[in-house]
Structure 1
Amino acid sequence: MRRHFGQAALLCLVFSIAPSAQALTEVTGFGSNPGNLKMFKFVPSGLPANAPLVVALHGCAQSAAAYDAETGWEALANRWKFALLLPQQQSGNNSSSCFNWFEAGDIARGSGEALSIKQMVDRMRSDHATDATRSYVTGLSAGGGMTAVMLATYPDVFAGGAIVAGIPYNCGTGVSAAFSCMNPGSDLSPTQWGNKVRAASSHSGSWPIVSIWHGDADTTVRPVNLTESMEQWTNVHGIDQTADLQDTLGGYPHKVYKDAAGVPKVETVLITGMGHGTPVDPGTGEAQCGTAGAYILDVNLCSSYYIGRFWGLDNLDNVPPSVSLSAPSAGAAVSGSVTVSANASDAVGVAQVEFLLDGMLLGSDASAPYSVIWNSATSANGSHILQARATDLAGNVASSSAISVSVSGGVSDTSAPTVDLVFPSPGATLSGTVTLSADANDNFGVTEVTFLLDGAVLGTGNRSAQAGPWTLDWNTTSTSNGSHSLSVQARDAAGNVGSDSATSITVTQNLPALDETFSNRDNAGDYTDSTGWSGSFVANAANATASISGSQSAYGAASSGLSCSTGLKTQFFTRSVTLGANPRLSYARLLNLKANTNSSYSAYFKVLVNGALVDQQSVSNSTYVDSAWQRREDISLSTYANQTVTLRFEVGANANVCLEAWARANIDDIRIANAQQDADVTPPTVNLTAPVNGSTVSGTATLSATASDGTSVSKVEFYANGSLLGSDTEAPFSLSWNSASVANGSYALMAKAYDPAGNVGSDDDTQVTVSNGGTGGTQVLSFSSEDANDGYIKANADGSSPAIGTLESSLGLALGRGSDSKYNRAMLSFDTSTLPDNAVILSASLSVTYRSGSGDPWASPAGNTLVIDVINGCLGGCGVETSDYAATASASAVAELLKFTNGTQNSSAFNSSGLGAINRSGRTQLKLRFSANPTATRYVTINGATAATLRVEYQVP
């Protein structure tokens, strides 16, 4: 069954138009092609036998030719002599031409699109004798998601892969799950991710090596997916999630994860400042490739080149070049214009030689003889250090010995460098290991920065780039608690020394209750340093922390909506924290509040502790914008001293007409100082004491539990078969349960206890039997529709070109003919698995709620009816799919909904076929449709989410 998703344009959205690569050849007849894909290839002239094969998968709305032309893979195939395969999605499979990385039928071995791509690989091997041990796959966005699919389902086919702005394998199936995977992302353990891959095949051999690329400013597919993909594939390889190598690739953070033998198995490249797309570096240089365009982003780094090298396609060595300075000679006295030259050689080839003056780049040369001109008259008189650094075509780097020369006729340098300690700030309280940071500048260059503690040298700083800051990691645990002074000195080549004024700080190993800079200093990739945060805020590239490399902030945006969506909308960010005797809250904020339509409009930002306001900014019929980061310092929380509390940041926007109000907030540098207690991480203990395990209950039964905690128990919840029955907030903890409200049978009872810190303990070893008098009387269950699986599909009059409707949130579920001349049908899903397996269903009906409408679809044509089809289970996936529009139901037209123009409408009773189609062990889907297509724009919309109710009356024999 093929699936056609209109919403797939949002699933890894990539639109790009580029010139076609004329050399591509379409191939047909490559197998059964169950995924209905197209196959294109590029074979360079002179392709040797047993050459590698690269499979490149485009993003949404792209073509094979466009992706090939923009990403540089064809040029690399010509250079390195490998065959290139480019599968192409068809709009008949997915209306936005996205590979269906989120569809169960397309991500399993031996089926759908995954099998089609595998059959293309087989055809390439047959036609061009490619090396069966050197096939690789890569892709962007939706293509990146499908790359993970191919690596997981056919690890025996692919030796390696590269996921660019993609998703871990089997993150979720269906449209709703796909959206969630993209943003905010799915947080599973490495083992959980790895198990998904291991379950995809019976493979027992070696696993593909994987290169993972992502932009840290990607708001379409959140960069947390890089971390989750890394965890998935390191776990598959049986290695840990601690990088064995951390360096930079073209200036961007690069991590390599190796096995016990030191062989790289997984690498990650995080492109700072880059949004959603493929990194390229247009040009003719050895390491350059690609053409910049929409979602093909020029960041001065060609991902295709470095991916190919990671796979070993360049056939280059790992032996570094040799390099030595040939002029001037060591100890030479120089003046005026000086030629600095070097000799460099490599078994394969030298890419460039760089020349360094006092550790700073003087210039570079890409061809022999290697030299640069140094105008020494612009340098200070005195001693200087020269050095050459050579890079070969494989990226191996070697440096020459450094030599010293003496400059005369230059500038007399008597100016000391300027230097400033930028972290920590004056008055800061420090503990554990911190990174000191300083900015230093000099007219001829800074050669050294030294950090001092109480006037004594603490250490010499380092910097990762030509421009600062200079940093030093300082373990404060070896320093006595109390007040100390930090200072910094900078030295230039002439020996001039500059100093900043001392900064007073406090060292205490009594850790703060909270210290959150969103800096990714724990290398988790999610930019949340402290565990325990939850809510709807997301990581954002803006940050107030100048001292932390790659720091981000937490961002929340509440909007009243763009489509006449009125009322209050909120977003929040929260966690539990244990406070000390004199707690004080500090944080940085950047606000944008807009509510200037009328006096009923409002927007706010609030900071709450246990629901009480401790800081805020609000507007009504006005606006407020922070032009720069605002630091809110030392807000007293003494009211909550020595308590475990809930800290919450919240934004809200309220509107009463069809114009947007918004509240947007960036939050950074959250700190609660002067904590005297460790955070509570110990869950309460709980024991379900009644009824006893194995007992039989009837009528009203009392559920009882005992619970205790080191602090206190805030509540105990009681469950039956996983469904919450109720809770009690005070001891003795108990609940009255009307067992007659459920079917006779076996039930698993559970009690959950919560403490104020949010820790949870549970007791789930009690099984009881409900017996309420044999056959009993008639029972009724009402099921609410599932928001995640509801939606509507629109199509032409003949059912062609179906697409998922995208206006559910603003207009509801559409039925009838819309203003776009499309005909709409709605899908509602209900989890009816709580019906007893032996239930005799006596009657059923559906109730829906009117949302809006236009015209009278029941009168177009005359006598038109709105009917209900019943599906036992799900049509394909349980999420709404384009194929649902015309798919055959288990029972058709089992009931109808009479004309209604407001309020709630109940359907007629389901006929016997409809009753027989209700699923007692899983989901029941209902399709709502007009029996005839309206002849004009006439439609009705109903509320989605959980607004629809399926009522089922039954008896248990």
Structure 2
Amino acid sequence: MSSQRPRFTSTCSRFTLAAWLFAGAVGCGGLDAEPSVQAEPELGQSELGLTQVTGFGSNPGNLAMYRHVPTGVAANAPLVVVLHGCTQNATGMELSGWTAAANVYKFYVVYPQQASGNNATSCFNWFEPGDIARGSGEALSIKQMVDAMKAAYSIDASRVYVVGFSAGGYMAPALLSVYPDVFSAGAINAGGPYKCATSMNAAFSCMSPGTDKTPAAWGDLARSGYAGYTGPRPPVSIWYGTSDFTVRPMNGTEAMEQWTNVHGIDQTPDTTETVSGFPHKVYRDGAGRALVETWEITGMGHAVAFDAQYNFPGSTTACGSTGAYVTDANICAVYHQAKFFGLTGGGGEPSGDTTPPTVNVTSPASGTTVSGAVKVVVSASDAVGVARVELLVDGSPVATASSAPYEFTWNSQGVGNGAHTLGARAYDAAGNQATDSDTSVTVNNTGTPTPTTATFTSIAAEDGYLKANADGSAAVLGTLTNLALGRGTDGKYNRSFVSFDTSSLPDGATVTRAYLTVSYSSGSGDAWSTPAGNTVVIDVKAGTFNAASTEVTDWAAAADATAVASIDKFASGAKASADFSGAGLASINRTGRTQLRLRFSLEQTATQYLFVKDSTNAVLTVVYTP
């Protein structure tokens, strides 16, 4: 006798169509005979790009298994399990883009498929206790599919991931909870927390309006999936449409609370940004590892987001196709989820690694007494590359450097005499971060000369912007009143120049601090988001890059100091840069012009630009002692 779960085939007139959509026919009628079980995996029919695999285990959930194997997959490759929603099937979920992504990034994909005999509208039974418990039901069937793939192919057991939409978006966290030893990370699309419901009636309340529990209560439910487990828990990416009236957005919030609690971190995001126009939040641990992220797709209903205009980097493969519950929202969810899993390294975009960089303040030594201008030296390294380093004073960032050597001139007169902590925070290209904050210094500025602050407004006649070709060939001279940064509609990259007469500085002055303030004028798109980790940086020239007025050759002229400070993202008002690095301070001209070149650190991949105001709206602030 098979251990498979019997199939339910009768319908129940007392349930509405909506009830069938999400709850199915469990417990509503007679039983069919139990199907036989094959001992070994066998290949069955092919649906589009998928091949059915039968006999993959005892299959107690009575599910179908489809798999996709790209050409050229290397040994020890990852595996992604993709779970469809109600009224969908395996080929319906292919439209979201996972098969296309697998062909580019070379990983295996398994598409479990629900049978209508289990659920009248082919929903995974995410609310049935027997289907979401370790070692039973549909959860075990899906785990057996993973085991079958490991037996048939060279798969890295530490890189197995699960993604789900709707009913699959509730089944995915169930698998993460009951099999944290199998799945390394997961993504929830229009789903919710594990054990949000354990009955049919509770499922409706869970989906709409949602079920509110404390983070600790949700975390306990997830941990109960595998009681006694002490190993690592999987990171989770959570996606929801703000206009989803089937699975309310509250489910995304509750899922975030569940998985942040599981990881022992708080519910305050460590990174808040806008990507392709949509809010993105990242929750990290003390080592800077991204463990939970949320994406709010504003205006989208009950669907998986894709982008019809997006091609996976390095290929002409588009991200998904329009279909039932697959919506063109101008953002490729599959790409961002694959990146979160670490699958996109080598695909032409920053690696999705989760290993933070190393960082350490090497000078001054802990216990040193300092005064006046203090040179702070930081060492930072990362296997992929350090994107930037921030200098921290008493835990707050005061300066940023985008390239090595990471050296800062800190004006200790900005704090009171006494004990203070110096630290540094390093970011890599994937957004991972690490912090060092164990350097204690004593500030003693008794008798130190009081610094002088001078401000300079830019010379409008000498300000300007240049549009350089992407291939580095001849630039075009810009004539706009405001200064342009980013990529224009013609595919060329805008770089801007602001010029200051700093000759009033005393010749022997020691410059201890400098920063640039600019004002927002207008923009198009999110020029900071593509590529990820982008920032505006400043190059400095003591004198002029070429002539006093802007010239075509200025865009490529050598600077005396490059990337001396960065300007964080802003979309209104005025914004001050970080303090200039030591090299930047040394390049401020005390006898004539000081010119600054503004540019994005990374070139945009689409039309995205920023306009800032010049003349009196661009201010260089210099702090010095005679």
1:340 is aligned to: 468
* Contact 1:9–1:98 (8 Å) recurs in 2: no
Partner residue of 1:187? 212
**Aligned equivalent of 1:150:** 175
Kindly indicate whether residue 241 of structure 2 is the aligned counterpart of residue 215 of structure 1. yes
What SS is found at the alignment partner of 2:468?
strand
- Residue 227, structure 1, aligned to residue 253, structure 2: yes
Q: Which has the higher contact order (CA 8 A, sep 6+)?
A: 2
1:304: Cα distance to partner? Answer: 0.7
- Name 2:287's counterpart in structure 1: 261
Show the counterpart of 1:548: none
The aligned amino acid for 1:296 is: V
Q: What secondary structure sits across from 1:265 in the alignment?
A: strand
Q: Mapping of 1:844-923 within 5 angstroms?
A: none
Paired position in structure 1 for 2:18:
10
What aligned pairs does 1:818-829 form with structure 2 within 5 A after superposition? none
Change (3 A) 1:230 1:144: same
| Match of residue 534 from structure 2 | 397
In structure 2, give the amino acid aligned to 1:47.
V
Amino acid of the residue matched to residue 385 of structure 2?
V
Give the Å deviation of 1:371.
Answer: 4.4
Deviation readout 1:164-190 (Å, 9 max, x if unpaired): 000210111222110010011111111
Per-residue displacement from partner, 1:652-702 (whole Å, max 9, x unpaired)? xxxxxxxxxxxxxxxxxxxxxxxxxxxxxxxxxxxxxxxxxxxxxxxxxxx
Is the partner of 1:41 in helix, strand or coil?
strand
Determine the C-alpha separation between the residues in 1 that align with 2:144 and 2:574: 60
- Measure, in 2, the Cα distance between the counterparts of 1:266 and 1:384: 32
What amino acid is the match of 2:264? Answer: G
The whole-number CA distance in structure 1 between the counterparts of 2:481 and 2:76 is: 43
**2:307–2:319 contact (8 Å) kept in structure 1:** yes
Q: Does 1:138 align with 2:163?
A: yes
d(CA) in 2 for partners of 1:321, 1:193:
35
Q: Give identity over the alignment, percent.
A: 47
- For the residues of structure 1 that align with 2:208 and 2:51, how far apart are their CA atoms? 37
CA contact (8 A) 2:520 2:574 kept: no
Deviation string 1:319-377 (CA, Å, 9 cap, x unpaired) is 378999xxxxx999699x96434678xxxxxxxxxx996356551677xxx64799xxx
Give the drift of 1:241.
1.1
Counterparts of 2:273 and 2:617 in 1: how far apart (Å)?
32
Q: Does 1:178 align with 2:203?
A: yes
Matches within 5 A, 1:750-761: none
| C-alpha deviation, 1:392, in angstroms | 10
| C-alpha separation in 2, matches of 1:397 and 1:230 | 26
Partner Cα separation in structure 1 for residue 269 and residue 199 of structure 2: 33
2:271 to 245, 260, 264: 245
Alignment of 1:440-451 (within 5 A): 448=574
**Which residue matches 1:290?**
320
* Structure label with greater radius of gyration: 1
Q: How does 1:321-336 map to 2 (within 5 A)?
A: none
C-alpha contact (below 8 Å) 2:244/2:301 kept by paired residues? yes
1:197 pairs with 2:222: yes
2:130 paired residue among 105, 112, 136? 105
Distance 2:195 2:68 in 1: 30
Kept in 2, the 8 Å contact 1:255–1:267? The answer is yes
Query: Could you tell me how far 1:81 is from its partner in structure 2?
Result: 0.8
Distance 1:397 1:164 in 2: 27
Are residues 1:36 and 2:62 paired?
A: yes
C-alpha spacing 1:384/1:165, structure 2 compared with 1 (3 Å):
closer
SS at match of 1:161: strand
Aligned length: 388
Mapped contact 2:123–2:167 kept (Cα < 8 A)? yes
1:298/1:54 Cα in 2 relative to 1: closer, same or farther (>3 Å)? Answer: same
Residue of structure 1 equivalent to 2:385: 319
Does the 8 A contact of 2:486 with 2:495 survive in 1? Answer: no
- Does 1:310 find its partner at 2:350? no
CA–CA distance in 2 between the matches of 1:169 and 1:132?
A: 23
- How far residue 231 of structure 1 moved from its aligned partner, in angstroms, is 0.8
Q: Is the 8 A contact 1:54 1:136 kept in 2?
A: yes
State the shift of 1:9 in Å: 5.8
**Distance apart, 1:201 and its partner CA:** 1.0
The code of the aligned residue for 1:140 comes to F
Among 287, 290, 297, which residue is 1:271 paired with?
297
Paired amino acid for 1:319: G
Write 1 or 2 for the structure with the bigger share of helix: 2
The one-letter amino acid of 2:105's match is: W
1:50 and 1:11 map into 2 onto residues whose CA distance is: 43
Per-residue displacement from partner, 1:530-562 (whole Å, max 9, x unpaired)?
xxxxxxxxxxxxxxxxxxxxxxxxxxxxxxxxx
Q: The residue matched to 2:291 in structure 1 has which SS?
A: strand
Q: CA deviation at 1:10?
A: 3.0
The separation in 1 between residues aligned to 2:20 and 2:181, in whole angstroms, is 27
Q: Establish whether residue 363 from structure 1 lines up as the match of residue 388 from structure 2.
A: no
Gaps of 5+ in 1: 15-19, 325-329, 345-354, 375-382, 409-438, 440-445, 451-490, 498-957
In 2: Cα distance, 1:175 partner to 1:386 partner: 51
Code of the residue aligned with 1:92 in structure 2: it is: G
Aligned equivalents of 2:126, 2:339: Cα separation in 1: 26
- Cα deviation per residue 1:554-601 (whole Å; 9 max; x = unaligned)? xxxxxxxxxxxxxxxxxxxxxxxxxxxxxxxxxxxxxxxxxxxxxxxx
Paired residue type of 1:279: A
Alignment of 1:660-675 (within 5 A): none
**C-alpha separation between the residues in 2 aligned to 1:22 and 1:179?**
34
Counterpart-to-counterpart distance in 2, 1:401 and 1:211: 34
- How far residue 283 of structure 1 moved from its aligned partner, in angstroms, is 2.4
SS in 2 for 1:282: strand
Which position in structure 2 is the counterpart of 1:570? Answer: none
Deviations 1:490-515 (A, max 9, x none): x9546699xxxxxxxxxxxxxxxxxx
> Residue deviations 1:47-87, cap 9 Å, x none?
1111000000011111101211x111111111111101100
Alignment of 1:302-701 (within 5 A): 302-315=332-345, 316-317=350-351, 318-319=384-385, 339-341=467-469, 358=483, 363=488, 371=493, 395-401=532-538, 448=574, 493=614
One-letter code aligned to 1:67: M
The whole-number CA distance in structure 2 between the counterparts of 1:238 and 1:190 is: 10
- Letter of the 2:121 partner, please give it: S
Alignment counterpart, residue 57 of structure 1, candidates 77, 80, 83: 83
Q: Distance in 2 between matches of 1:12 and 1:149?
A: 21
Q: TM-score, normalised by structure 2?
A: 0.55
Q: State the secondary structure of the residue aligned to 1:227.
A: helix
Kept in 2, the 8 Å contact 1:160–1:208? The answer is yes
Cα contact 1:216–1:275 (8 A) shared by 2: yes
Distance (whole Å) between structure 1 residues aligned to residue 387 and residue 263 of structure 2: 32
SS of the residue aligned with 2:268? coil
Measured at CA, do residues 43 and 362 of structure 1 come closer, stay the same or move farther in structure 2, by a change above 3 Å? closer
The 1:395/1:361 distance shift into structure 2, 3 A limit, reads closer
Query: C-alpha separation between the residues in 2 aligned to 1:385 and 1:301?
Result: 26
* Structure (1 or 2) with the greater strand fraction: 1
For the residues of structure 2 that align with 1:356 and 1:224, how far apart are their CA atoms?
46
Q: Deviations over 1:896-918 (max 9, x none)?
A: xxxxxxxxxxxxxxxxxxxxxxx
SS at match of 1:401: strand
Q: Which residue of 326, 330, 351 corresponds with 1:300?
A: 330
2: CA distance, partners of 1:227 / 1:390: 28
Q: Does structure 1 retain, via aligned residues, the 8 Å contact 2:460–2:614? A: no
In the aligned structure 2, how far is the partner of 1:21 from the partner of 1:74? 12
Q: 2:71 aligns with which of 29, 39, 45?
A: 45
